[in-house]
């Protein structure tokens, strides 16, 4: 369960209710990573402790947008102290989210290496600061195998991130079977299959990243997972022309990946 604009708009009581329902419905079948980041350190700590109490496998936290450095203090030291305070409050792992495109502070490879070195439960990184393959290489040179790095950013560079040492792909995607198949093929040494899947899914990846949540919901509707792609205000729904374009893109991708790599698209039949 990642960070989203909707999460920021929910009250703490609503968040707790939704989280409790999620944990109850899954019943321990899957590890759950809860996005607990907030502009307030106190709120982040409280949410992280609560997530741990519910049974979360990890929490995911970016540096706050409004984080300001005191006079004479390096901003990176303030960011480090923020994550260190969270790490002191919980025992489960922290997934550090590096996503400066959302107006968050930019974290250097050196700072990320320091987080992994000095905060024992800062064990994972969700890397979304392009060009991700180059930054991933720099971080691995500093942190080594101590920090496990996930490719992200909608999967735009997922294949190349795997080449440069990412351990997996953690991104918002309505077609996770393609990411799983690409990762599994890469780990098995079949780079041709992994590369074929990557290249043939790029049209959908870029469509998703450009038009966001509305596209992902529409794909899930077409797959039979949810009933409607309706969006909450102020988010915009897809225009009818965009829905037609998406159908064409999705149809092409599904056929191309099935033909080149033998990966069948996931579909579900909704109960009526």
Provide the residue count of the chain. Answer: 272
Q: Crossing angle of helices 176-187/240-261, nearest 10°?
A: 30
pLDDT of residue 209: 85
Percent of the residues in the chain that have a pLDDT greater than 90, as a whole number: 71
* Structure tokens that stand for 7 in this block: 């999460």
Over residues 27-48, the pLDDT tens digits come to 778 899 999 999 999 999 999 9
Over residues 204-233, the pLDDT tens digits come to 998 888 888 999 999 999 999 899 989 888
Computed over every residue of the chain, the mean pLDDT equals 90
pLDDT of residue 40: 92
* Structure tokens that stand for 266 in this block: 């996931």
pTM: 0.88
7, pLDDT greater than 50: no
Residue ranges of domains in the chain, CATH in brackets: 1-171 (3.20.20.70), 175-272 (no CATH)
Rounded-to-integer distance, Cα 1 and Cα 159, Å:
23
Strands 122-127 and 94-98, by their bridges, are parallel
272, pLDDT greater than 80: no
Rg, Å, the chain Cα set? 19
Over residues 65-119, the pLDDT tens digits come to 887 666 666 689 999 999 999 999 999 999 999 999 888 888 999 999 999 999 9
Q: Crossing angle of helices 176-187/191-211, nearest 10°?
A: 150
pLDDT of residue 50: 92
């Amino acid at each position: 369960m990642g960070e989203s604009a909707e999460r920021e708009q929910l009250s703490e009581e609503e968040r707790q209710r939704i989280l409790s329902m999620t944990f109850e419905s899954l019943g321990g079948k899957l590890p759950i990573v809860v996005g607990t980041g907030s502009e307030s350190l106190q709120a982040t700590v409280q949410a992280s402790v609560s997530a741990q109490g519910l049974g979360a496998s990890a929490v995911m936290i970016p540096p706050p947008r409004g984080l300001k450095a005191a006079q004479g203090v390096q901003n990176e030291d303030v960011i480090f102290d923020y994550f260190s305070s969270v790490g002191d409050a919980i025992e489960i792992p922290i997934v550090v989210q590096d996503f400066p495109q959302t107006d968050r502070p930019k974290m250097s490879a050196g700072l990320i290496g320091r987080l992994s070195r000095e905060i024992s439960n800062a064990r994972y990184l969700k890397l979304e600061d392009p060009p991700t393959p180059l930054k991933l290489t720099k971080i691995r040179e500093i942190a080594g195998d101590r920090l496990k790095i996930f490719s992200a950013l909608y999967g735009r560079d997922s294949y190349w991130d795997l080449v440069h040492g990412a351990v997996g792909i953690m991104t918002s995607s309505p077609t996770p079977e393609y990411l799983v198949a690409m990762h599994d093929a890469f780990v098995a040494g079949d780079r041709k299959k992994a590369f074929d899947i990557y290249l043939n899914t790029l049209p959908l990846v870029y469509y998703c990243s450009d038009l966001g949540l509305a596209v992902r919901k529409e794909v899930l509707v077409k797959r039979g997972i949810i009933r409607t792609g309706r969006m909450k205000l102020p988010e915009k729904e897809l225009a009818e022309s965009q829905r037609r374009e998406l159908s064409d893109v999705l149809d092409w991708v599904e056929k191309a990946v099935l033909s080149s790599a033998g990966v069948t698209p996931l579909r579900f039949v909704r109960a009526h």
